[in-house]
Structure 1
Amino acid sequence: MANLNKTVLILGANSDVAKQCILQYLERGFSIIAASRDLSSLAEFVSENKINSSKITLIAFDAADFSSHQNFYDELPVKPNIVIYAAGFLVENKDALQNFESAKRMMEVNYMGAVSILNIVAMDQSNKNLERIVGLSSLSGVRGRKSNFIYGSTKSAFTQYLAGLRQELSSRKIIVNVLVSGYINTKINEGLELNKNLLMEPDYVAEHIVNAGNSFSIVPNFKWKIIYHILKLLPESLVSKLP
């Protein structure tokens, strides 16, 4: 198979979307390096899905432990062809406003950790295998809204970082994509009151990541594409009326 000797590094591999990416990349012949703080949960996932242990490597990774990132990258068993940043953390806006530690945690995982590790990945010019970096962002980062602007600000910053990184790496023919998703039926959204008609399943979202093309932004589902474009075009007077 064409992808037999290619490797995907998935950072934040315990997310529901990331796990579906693992399965779909494996189906396409890739090997996987799955990185997460919770290796026991990943090991259970590997066992439950009867994944061939020769095709997947589990490695500890903490997005917020910035000082460990260089050593983490240096010790990878093989330098990746594709890197997916799927780590994420979310608390409700009220909590983030009243408790800076909660806000800081979102900043560290959703943005600062991403910049820390992806800078290391991108600046390793000795890795001639690298062909693509994909970051998981959110429609929450398209416009600031009073219901989730602190979380949204971390995703907005991440999207802008990826846009610049795409330009930085274009001369090396490395593609950078951002997945701008709406509501996904995942554990990070448990307990939130979301419109079920707009909920996407993790495997559906993962399919768009695995099949990413050359365009920068990936917005799964035509309903969310419409919402995405409306949000970008709405005047501030109308955005302020949104929840």
Structure 2
Amino acid sequence: MNTKTVLILGANSDVAKEAIVQYLQHGCHVIAASRSIDALHRFVQDRSLDASKVEVLYFDAVDFASHAGFYQGIKTKPSIVLYAAGYLVDNQEALLDWDRTYQMMNVHYCGAVSILNLIVSDQENVGLERIVGLSSLSGVRGRKSNFVYGSSKSAFTQYLAGLRQHLYDRNITVNVIVAGYIRSKMTAGLDLTESLMLEPSYIARAVVHVGNQFVSVPGLKWKLIYHVLRWMPEQLVAKLP
């Protein structure tokens, strides 16, 4: 993985920041892109990272008109791209507040499609070898407690599935990380089962070391839950929270 350039979109998420650390440990140059550039600079300083190997750029996932200029402005085009932007709205609130729901859909799906389409259409970047998307187990089956959020993650996952097939002949691997509960600022305050919580560094390790399979589910418990959810009869899914 030495000398490779990694572009992380939505780099201020807890998982993305841990991925920055781990990619650097593998000798990569990291482009950390986010609206929160001050927070990223502080993170690089607080973690004593080599600032010469971390380039912080402004990127707004929902400002679609800016995406072409953003990508064109990247001097060294990436070998690896991680899309980790996230935005969570409680399901009941999502049913009542369209503006925040629309923001969630744009962050998880529309923003991803906009920027990733640009990246994969760049035929001059012959070094592009992998795209990784951070998705969620919430997108596996529609459940009454989080189906609005889950639908945006499901759309993202299906886009990546098709993108994987589209890029097959170019030997570009597309992976999706289907994560369960992550201990992060986005889930802070939510009533989640403690025994199922995973640390951002653990998810980041799954990102950095992902193989050739399309779906990667970090954590044994979550792997079991993933397979159960996929094949559970509808009448049982209806009884889930």
Letter in 2 for 1:155: K
User: Residue type matched to 1:108 in 2?
Assistant: N
* Counterpart for residue 207 of structure 1: 205
Cα distance in structure 1, aligned partners of 2:234 and 2:63: 37
Match of 2:135 in 1: 137
Corresponding residue for residue 94 of structure 2: 96
Matched, 1:74 2:82: no
Aligned length: 241
For residue 170 of structure 1, what is the aligned residue in structure 2? 168
1:147 alignment partner, SS class: coil
* 3-state SS of paired residue (2:177): strand
Deviation track 1:190-224 (CA, whole Å, cap 9, x = no partner) reads 11100000000010110010001000001000100
Runs of 4+ in 1 over 4 A off after TM superposition: none
Equivalent in the alignment of 1:109: 107
Match of 2:236 in 1: 238
Q: Deviations over 1:49-97 (max 9, x none)?
A: 1112210100000000000001000000210000000000001001100
The 1-side partners of 2:37 and 2:200 are apart by 20
What pairs with 1:31-110 in structure 2 (closer than 5 Å)?
A: 31-110=29-108
What SS class does the counterpart of residue 186 from structure 2 fall into?
helix
- Map of 2:220 onto structure 1: 222
Q: Which residue of 2 aligns with 1:151?
A: 149
Q: Secondary structure at the match of 2:30?
A: strand
* Secondary structure, aligned partner of 1:185: coil
Which residue number in structure 2 is paired with residue 128 of structure 1? 126
How much identity, in percent, do the aligned residues show? 59
Q: What do you get for the CA RMSD once the two structures are aligned?
A: 0.6
Gaps of 5+ in 1: none
TM-score norm. by structure 2 comes to 0.99
Q: What TM-score comes out, normalization by structure 1 length?
A: 0.98
User: What is the CA-CA distance between 1:7 and the residue it aligns to?
Assistant: 0.4
**Distance across 2 between alignment mates of 1:193 and 1:52:** 37
